[in-house]
Amino acid sequence: MEENIKYGNVPVAVAASVLKVDSQTVRLLLQNGLVNWGCAYKRTPKTKSYSYIIYAKRFYEETGFLYKGGTSE
């Protein structure tokens, strides 16, 4: 495995591009707990919107895509 994996958050748009799906599909996968490389959460109980975390290391392990910041190429 790459030694210099950025242990940050992969943007939803980047993950969608890598997976060749739209961003809404990635959001739904995360909201429904269908993938282990990220999660969706509500910042407060009253809000309707979600925030998303996609773990760079786990995403790399599952997809082979090494996120180094910026956008996918």
pLDDT in tens, 25-38: 999 999 999 999 99
pLDDT of residue 73: 46
**Of 28, 35, 27, whose CA–CA distance to 58 is shortest?**
35
pLDDT of residue 71: 56
pLDDT of residue 68: 85
pLDDT in tens, 7-64: 679 999 999 999 999 999 999 999 999 999 999 999 998 999 999 999 999 999 999 9
Residue 49 burial (CB count, 10 A): 8
| Gyration radius from the chain CA atoms | 12
